[in-house]
């Protein structure tokens, strides 16, 4: 009895399949478009939530590494604080602590944070200029010139220190090893 019931059900399935194929072919075309739309939406979400922020962070890291100068204070990925002495392409020479003999060459990739040497002076000059602008523009030109002169003097001082550090690093490198 079960065999006969199964054959009847199988036969009824075959009979109904010919009538539904004409309606399924039109609905299967629309289902493909829906699937494609979902894939495009999912790809856009992945791009805007994952890929784009990574690219943005990478560009910011590259610009930070390109702005690296001798005299800048850095924090390495291993947690050491140091001062950049010289830059040779992708390799930098970092001085750790107060010991002038502790200079280690390392890759730029090992830097996690950079603090510019003259960032404090520039920030002070900017706040001084802002404070003078508050007084209805009185002495605005003189204040800007004074702030710019202070910033240039500080930058020249930092450059002189950096050049001296580079020359000292070159002298240390030229000394023969015993």
Residue identified by tokens 């289902």 is: 31
Domain ranges of the chain: 32-66, 73-174
Per-residue pLDDT at 113: 87
Positive or negative torsion for Cα 112, 116, 120, 126 = negative
Phi–psi pair at 140, nearest 5 degrees: -60, -45
pLDDT for the residue 47 = 93
Local mean pLDDT, 10-residue blocks, the chain (178 residues) = 55 48 57 92 94 92 87 91 90 86 88 79 60 57 74 76 71 57
User: What is the predicted pLDDT for the residue at 125?
Assistant: 58
pLDDT at 160: 75
CB 106 within 8 A of CB 95: no
What values do phi and psi take at 91, rounded to 5? -110, 135
**What are the φ and ψ backbone dihedral angles of 104, each rounded to 5 degrees?**
-125, 130
Q: In the prediction, which pLDDT does 55 show? A: 94
pLDDT of residue 18: 44
DSSP H/E element including 75: strand 73-76
């Amino acid at each position: 009895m079960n065999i006969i019931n199964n054959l009847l059900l199988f036969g009824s399935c075959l009979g109904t399949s010919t009538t539904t194929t004409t309606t399924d072919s039109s609905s299967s075309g629309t289902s493909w478009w829906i699937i494609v739309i979902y894939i495009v939406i999912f790809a856009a979400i992945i791009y805007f939530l994952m890929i784009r922020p990574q690219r943005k962070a990478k560009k910011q890291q590259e610009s930070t590494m390109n702005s690296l100068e001798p005299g800048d204070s850095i924090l390495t990925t291993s947690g050491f604080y140091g001062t950049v002495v010289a830059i040779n392409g992708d390799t930098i020479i970092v001085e750790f602590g107060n010991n002038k003999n502790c200079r280690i060459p390392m890759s730029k990739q090992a830097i996690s944070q950079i603090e510019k040497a003259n960032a404090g002076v520039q920030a002070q000059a900017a706040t001084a200029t802002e404070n003078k602008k508050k007084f209805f523009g009185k002495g605005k030109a003189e204040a800007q010139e004074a702030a710019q002169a202070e910033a240039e003097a500080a930058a020249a001082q930092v450059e002189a220190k950096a050049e001296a550090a580079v020359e000292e690093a070159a002298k240390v490198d030229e000394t023969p090893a015993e």
